[in-house]
Structure 1
Amino acid sequence: MKISDANLKIILNSRGEETLEVALNMDMFLAKASAPSGKSRGSYEAAVLEPPEAISKFENIKPQILNNDWQTQEEFDKFLISLGGANLMLVLSLAFARLKAKIENIELFQYINNISQIKIEKFTLPKPIFNIINGGVHSGQQDCKLEFQEFQVIPTVDDFALGLSIVKEGYRKLGEFLVEKFEKNQVLLGDEAGYSAPFQSNEEVLDILWDFINEHNYPLRIGLDLAASQFYNKEKLVYFVDGKEYSAEELKKYYLELIDRYQLISL
């Protein structure tokens, strides 16, 4: 596949921060992709480029992108990996995949399945994960006592629209409950629109969600995005959670306890 045109520009993400969007063309076909970005980054995550730096690097490699006849996704991705910059690699790789899918007249998920080594015969919609209470750097509160970054709910129903409707109702009712519990001026929206309140511990939030789900008989399960590198002490080589110190092995055991106690479906 020979790409006829490629353009990269800076756009704004949902936080109003600069990120990247690329457009790849081949004859009448056009595919775009943009790069998401989280509030926190793990210590082992691939490094990203600042948007202006990514634009500069892109302009340098653009002739190679246009002059090569790319036969496979793997060939294109290997070229990108040699360049570095996770956000630049991601937008180009995803746009390439979308372009190939359009040319082959198939959906993106079908294209990914075709090039993967694990073939899936029956497709199902992914389960949506809703970030409903924000902790850590997502909380938006300076005195936040929650180390865990995201407290999530996941519908167990197969109908995607029904699951979304259930969470929409639950989100509203949870907000009303938290206002009654903490007073209105203490209940805020965090960085990702989950509720933030003066919770005293991670387990308090889990207890609230567990009781709330069971009281309303919602077909929901609880999940966590921990962002553990954010509460890891490099000097002491321990993790601080709810005022306690944990080694890596101790933290693993604690996670297993939480999974069992709250029937966590995602961690």
Structure 2
Amino acid sequence: MSNNKSTIDFGFSEVPLEEKVKRVKGVFDSVAGNYDIMNDVMSLGIHRVWKRQTIDLSGVRPGYKVLDLAGGTGDLTKAFAKRVGKTGQVILADINESMVRVGRDRLINQGISGNVDYTITNAEALAFPDNSFDVATIAFGLRNVTNKDQALAELYRVLKPGGQLLILEFSKVTNPAMAKLYDFYSFNILPKMGKVIADDEASYQYLAESIRMHPDQETLKQMMLQAGFDKAEYLNMSQGIVALHRGWKY
């Protein structure tokens, strides 16, 4: 959603627009080293299923050029690198240097190299020419972007005609009983887990709050269409805890 105010949400707080990037950077600087462990613990490992379905629906083939925006520690990049092969290319891009460093070291240690590049870039001003990528993904990153409309417009710009964007993100739970249980877990258990595992309760409190401030499924779909995408749809996963939005540039 566009924001004409001088402030923006940072979780449930309002902060000056120019401060959100710095605050989000602080969160991910703090959690980078424990990010993969916490993902497994927080989601009971289900995040791997969500990501696998995203990869399968991407249609990525040998020779494709793929942008993994907010690529973090490289889960999607690793899978895409195997799919695009030697003739393709995957770029792991993130605004946070700590996350890029962790992702690069992790993938190199796992033998993923040759067709993967790494860059630090802001989703609102992508450092790539028009019509560069066959597929772009942003997984669990869009909710941290200050100007989501601008980021969506940039993703549309860098996709080739015929390209596809996939947004994997926490969304609005569709079942009321599940929603109550999820809220209890998010605000009473998740931050405590962050304290025990990562010695960082505040960052995981922010993550829980940022999920609630993110646009719901229909709102994000409309934002994608307004950003220029010719077609947009979404698939709920785990009763809407996560949604996979897909947009096409024709």
TM-score by length of 2: 0.29
Relative CO higher for 1 or 2, CA cutoff 8 Å, sep ≥ 6? Answer: 2
Q: Normalized per residue, which structure has more helix?
A: 2
TM-score by length of 1: 0.28
